[in-house]
C-alpha cells in the first residue's frame, strides 16, 4: 500500500477510535457536575482560585464558612488580608491565594462594577485567573462554551490518544476540534472524573478500565 494511503487509513482508524472513546466516556460518566459548591459566579471564581493544588472537598470545607461572610467583592475588601488568610488557611498556598483574591476583588469593584466579567479576555485580567480558571468560570457559571484543561484532563487526553498536545493550550485546541462545543463542559468533567477514579497519575487502573481495548497506552504507564 502506498505511504499516503497508509497514512490516511491510520488517520481514519485513529478518528474512529477517538469517537469510540468519547462515546464510552459519555456512557461511563453520564452525570458530571463540578464538585465545588457555589451559589454565584463570584463564589465559583473564588472556589476555583482556592482549588489550586488542593481537593474540591477541602475547598468546600473552607468556603462553607467563607461564603457566609463573603457574598461579593467588596466583602473581601472589608474582611482584609489577615482575616482572609486565616479563613482560607486550610486550602494551602493561602498567602498567595489571599493576595490573588484581594487583588481580584479590588479590580472587580473598580473595573467591573463588582460583577464577574463574561469574556475570557476580561477574566484573564484578574490576578490569579489563568486560562483554565477563566474557561471553568465561562462554562460553569455562564454556560458559555469553553474547554478547561487541568492536570487530569491533560494526562487522560494524552493517554487516550485524544490529543498529542504538549501543553494545556494545545490540548484545549485539539479537544475543541474533536468535540462539539455543546459537549465541551461535559467532556471536561468526564475526563477529570476518569482521571481521578481510574486513570490516575500513578498506577492507572488499566486492568479495570473501560477504555482498555481502545487506549493506545493501556498497560504502558
DSSP-derived secondary structure for the chain: --HHHHHHHHHHHHHHHHHHHHHHHHHHS-S----S--SSHHHHHHHHHHTTTS-HHHHHHHHHHHHHH-SSHHHHHHHHHHHHHHHHGGGSSHHHHHHHHHHHHHHHHHHSTTS--SSHHHHTTSTT--HHHHHHIIIIIH--------HHHHHHHHHTTS---SSHHHHHHHHHHHS-GGGHHHHHHHHHHHHHHTS-SSS--GGG-TTTTT-TTTTT-
* Binds ligand SF4 by CB under 6 A, chosen from 159, 185, 186, 188: 159
Stretch near ligand SF4 under the rule CB under 6 A, chosen from 2-10, 59-67, 128-136, 206-214: 206-214
Residue 25 or 136 with smaller CB distance to ligand SF4: 25
- State the nearest-atom distance from the C-beta of 131 to ligand SF4, in Å: 24
Determine whether 132 is an active site residue: yes
Q: Is 209 in the site for ligand SF4 (CB under 6 A)?
A: yes
Active-site annotation holds for 150: yes
Identified binder of ligand SF4 from the candidate list 91, 160, 191, 192, rule CB under 6 A? 160
Judged by CB under 6 A, which of 47, 62, 137, 199 binds ligand SF4? 199
Question: Least distance from C-beta 155 to ligand SF4, angstroms?
Answer: 8
Which positions are catalytic? 132, 150
Amino acid at each position: 500500500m502506498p505511504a499516503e494511503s497508509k497514512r490516511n487509513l491510520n488517520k481514519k482508524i485513529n478518528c474512529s477510535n477517538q469517537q469510540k472513546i468519547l462515546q464510552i466516556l459519555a456512557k461511563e460518566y453520564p452525570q458530571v457536575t463540578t464538585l465545588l459548591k457555589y451559589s454565584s459566579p463570584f463564589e465559583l471564581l473564588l472556589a476555583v482560585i482556592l482549588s489550586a493544588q488542593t481537593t474540591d472537598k477541602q475547598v468546600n470545607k473552607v468556603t462553607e464558612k467563607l461564603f457566609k461572610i463573603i457574598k461579593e467583592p467588596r466583602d473581601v475588601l472589608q474582611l482584609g488580608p489577615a482575616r482572609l488568610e486565616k479563613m482560607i488557611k486550610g486550602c494551602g498556598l493561602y498567602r498567595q491565594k489571599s493576595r490573588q483574591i484581594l487583588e481580584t476583588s479590588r479590580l472587580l469593584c473598580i473595573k467591573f462594577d463588582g460583577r464577574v466579567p463574561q469574556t475570557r479576555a476580561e477574566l484573564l485580567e484578574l490576578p490569579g485567573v489563568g486560562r483554565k480558571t477563566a474557561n471553568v468560570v465561562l462554562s460553569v457559571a455562564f454556560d458559555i462554551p469553553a474547554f478547561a484543561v487541568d492536570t487530569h484532563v491533560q494526562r487522560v487526553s494524552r493517554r487516550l490518544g485524544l490529543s498529542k498536545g504538549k501543553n494545556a493550550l494545545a490540548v484545549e485546541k485539539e479537544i475543541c476540534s474533536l468535540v462539539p462545543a455543546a459537549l465541551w463542559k461535559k467532556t471536561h468533567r468526564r475526563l477529570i472524573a476518569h482521571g481521578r477514579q481510574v486513570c490516575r497519575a500513578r498506577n492507572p487502573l488499566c486492568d479495570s478500565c473501560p477504555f482498555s481495548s481502545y487506549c493506545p497506552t493501556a498497560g504502558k504507564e
